[in-house]
Each structure stands twice: as structure tokens, then as C-alpha cells.
Chain A
């Protein structure tokens, strides 16, 4: 169980990026964090990954506080971030430090098979398309068998068709594990449709400072979800919530003219 209690993040320049975030994600659930740009959703993911530390509140996984990167939490970034000098198999093995060679080989082969890239094991990253590279990034994250997999807008740089393919692919890979071994997924996205296709629960964030605006459970079967007749209504409701959240964020900014947020929170020095 991943739990955030009253989490806040204030940057060194005084800007309050997140405030009073409390969330719980059950083991094997898929949670989507949706919000406009600059609402702090990527910042929140960095706090959960341990790459950054909250300035208030607590992030816990199964009762132990997250104080830095840890082996049971993996991240897939917006870009594949593969090591260009390593073959695909070695890129997948990048996080398997301290694992014996024979075991490593087996784990990598298994992970490559799950993402359907076995025959590219000896290729270099530059020989792969964007979508394939992102699947390698997914394999690299899954090979360490994390309890929690964080995805920071993982498909936003891809074209629409590839994006839809990879969304289905992610669900397939995730469903490929036995239910008790499925990792918890936390997906950050600005794409309502992506959130609706993938998640059990969607959290809409409002900005200035980033906070939970509304939570919505997606009680739809994963099979054939894209064609479900209840989807359009849910989509409309979430879109309205997102607009309201953005208005709330803009109003907050007008009322409280503090230091302006930097264009991208990810560019903040650690």
C-alpha cells in the first residue's frame, strides 16, 4: 500500500508546488494523476520515487517511509532514457545490480519477452523507434520486480496510434502478472483519455499550490473499455473537473502573487 499523508513541497525559491496531498493506492491498483501543466503532478511523482524529498508530510510504502530511491519503486520517464552505448538487453539489465549473471540473463530474457522485444536484445537504442524504446524502458523498470511503478507521462511524446498501442500494451503486460504480483501503477498524464483507459481511479489535481481537486473511480471492465458506452459520460465529467481545477489554480495565482513557478518543475535543481 502506497500512502501519502499531507505531503507538501516548497522549492528553495519559496514557491509552494504541492500542499496537503493525501492519497492511498492499494497494492496492484492503477492510479492516474491528471492535471494541467504546472499543477505539480510530475513533482508529486518525483517525491514518490524518492528522487526529491517532500518539505512536509510523509510518503510511505507498506509502512516504511520513502526517503530516497529504493529497489521496490521503479520509474518510467517521459523519454525512454536508455543508455545509448548499451545493447537493449544490457539496458534492461541496467537496474539489476548485485544479481548473479545467470539469474540476470533469465530475468532480462523474461522482461524482453513480456514487452515483445526478444529479437532486439542485441540491438542498440538508436536502432529502435520511439515506441519500442519506451517499451524497453518499461522492461527495464519491470525487471527489478518493483511493488510500485511510476510513469511520468510515458506516452506523451509518441504519435496517437503508437500511444494507443502502448497504452493497451501496458495493460497487457500488467495483466500478464498473477494478481498478487501485479505492481501498483501511478501514472501521471495530462491526457484524460489515457487516464480513463488505464486507471482504476483518477485523481484530478489543481495548481498553485498543487492539491487534490477531485477523485473519481473508474468502475469499468478493462476489457473493451475504449468502446464502453459509459465512457463518454465519465470523460465529460472528468473534463469538467479538470477545467474547474484549472480555474481554481488560476484564481489562486491571482490572489497570491508569490514567486512565479518555473516553466518546468523537472528542471528544478535537486
Chain B
């Protein structure tokens, strides 16, 4: 983080936007380089250990073997089918979960009556382990896409709901009072005070929601699927192909990281106003 400076201007001058943006870009590249140090070192050590015969390549194939397995899947065109199936499920489930979590979270955050009515039930449902839903969802919605997407939506719903509802509930009473002085109605209060104030916490909810979405897609695909990265995991296990299993795990890591990065980038402007600590040197 050494090269990332706080770009806040002194109180005497407003921000020079262009300059800030270019600095952020440089900081982003340096961050990326720093973030790659640990994984690259680990991969090299693993490769060396495999080739030197210090570890069993049957149980833990070297990175090059895993890469070759992925390459084979790419060549046969099979990989894209699996990646696309999984990605599609996650994205649609995420969208549904976010929509429901946002609507109900805003409602219970704003209305005391709605909170008293709904929150205890939602908190109870939240504690059910994800896998426990699978048999029920398969019975209710069939073994195809509907049950999988809905299972993911359930996983995404809770962190989004929880973060938004508690963020709205905790919005500074003093700011709400200013809006009362100007006779804001309920809708104006929600859209112009409560939601903007809650956005930074809401974004955290979105990101944990997406993370849970990736966990739930594996649960859904392991329980029964004919395509997807989760299917690839099971298939690798059945056919004893460890490189395929490790390849799927790697792809989960890459896809999860990439979607989280995209989400973080897309939502960064929403919380830009926060005057936070942002880490030490």
C-alpha cells in the first residue's frame, strides 16, 4: 500500500478530479503487483516440490499439470459451457437476492412496524445452513435451473438484507431531523437520506452476498447438475482426475475474485464520500 497516498485535498482547496483519478490508477497497478507476490511464490514452491518428487503428484498434481487439464477443457470447448452455466446461475441468483434483500431491508430499516413483524422471522431463517435447503428446493422447484438460482438468491438475500436494514436503522438521527425540518415525506426520506447514508454498509452486504452466492452455487451443483464448475468437481472426483478437481477450484477462485473485483470497482463511487481511515502506510 506504500504508493497509495491519501488524495484528500487540504481544507483550503476542492479536489482536482483528473489528478486523483490518474493517481488511483497507478495505485491500482502497484496494489495488484503487491497482491500477486504471495500466490506466485506459493505456486512456484508447489511446482518445484512436485517435480522434485517431495509430494505425491497423484494426490496433489503440480500447477503445470492443473493448467494442462484446464487447457484440455478449453480446447474441447467444454470449459466455456461449465463456466458459463455457473456464472449465469450466480449472476441471476445474485440479482434476485439483491432485489429482495434491498426491498425488504429498506422496508424493515425504515418502518418500525415492518421490522417488528418481519425481522424475527428473517433472523430465524438466516440460521438455517445452506445445504439444508437443497432437498426442499429440489422437491419444490425441480432439479433444473429454478431450484439452483433460487438457492443462490437465498444465500445472497441475507447479508444484503442484514447490512441494509441495520445501516438504515443506524443512520444518524441528527441528519434525519434535518430532513424533518424540511418536511421530507417517507419516500424522500428513504431515497435522499436513509439509502445514501446506508450505501457504504450496503456495499459490504453486496460483496458478502456475492461471496455466499459462489458458496451456494457449489452446493447446488454438487447436489445435481449436468454442467457447471460444481459438476466438474464431482466428475473429477468420480473419475479420479485430481487435476480437474484442482482446475475447478482454481476457476472458482479466479471467477469469484473477478466478480468481487468488478463489484467493488462498480460500487466504489457510492462510498467515496466516507472520510475513513483507509489503512496505514
Contacts and interface: CB of A to CB of B under 8 A. Distances in A.
Contacts, number: 65
Contact of A81 (B174, B188, B196): B174
A238 to B, nearest CB: 30
B182 interface: yes
A111 B182 CA distance: 17
Interface stretch (A13-21, A119-127, A225-233): A119-127
Interface string B4-21: 000011010011000000
Contact of B11 (A51, A70, A81, A128): A128
A85 B177 contact: no
Contact of B196 (A51, A71, A83): A83
Contacts of A258: none
Interface residues of B, number: 23
B190 to A, nearest CB: 14
A97 interface: yes
A81 B175 contact: yes
B181 A85 contact: no
B182 A127 contact: no
A94 interface: yes
B178 to A, nearest CB: 5
Contact of B175 (A68, A83, A120, A122): A83
B8 A51 contact: no
Contacts of A97: 182-184, 188
Contacts of B178: 77, 81, 83, 94
B196 A119 contact: no
Interface string A66-77: 001111001101
A69 B180 contact: yes
B274 A81 contact: no
Interface of A is mostly: loop
B175 A77 contact: no
Nearest to A73: B181
Interface string B150-192: 0000000000000000000000001101111111100010000
B193 interface: yes
Contacts of A79: 174
B218 interface: no
Interface in A92-128: 94-95, 97, 119-120, 122-124, 126-128
A77 B182 CA distance: 14
A132 interface: yes
B14 A122 contact: yes
A81 B182 CA distance: 13
* Residue from B179, B182, B274 whose CB has the most chain A CB atoms within 10 Å: B182
A127 B188 contact: no
A97 B188 CA distance: 10
A127 B274 contact: no
A119 B14 CA distance: 8
Interface of A: 49, 51, 68-71, 74-75, 77, 79, 81, 83-86, 94-95, 97, 119-120, 122-124, 126-129, 132, 144
Which 4 pairs, one residue from A and one from B, show the smallest C-beta to C-beta distance?
Answer: A126-B275, A123-B14, A95-B182, A85-B273
6 contacts: A51-B177, A83-B196, A85-B197, A94-B178, A120-B14, A127-B8
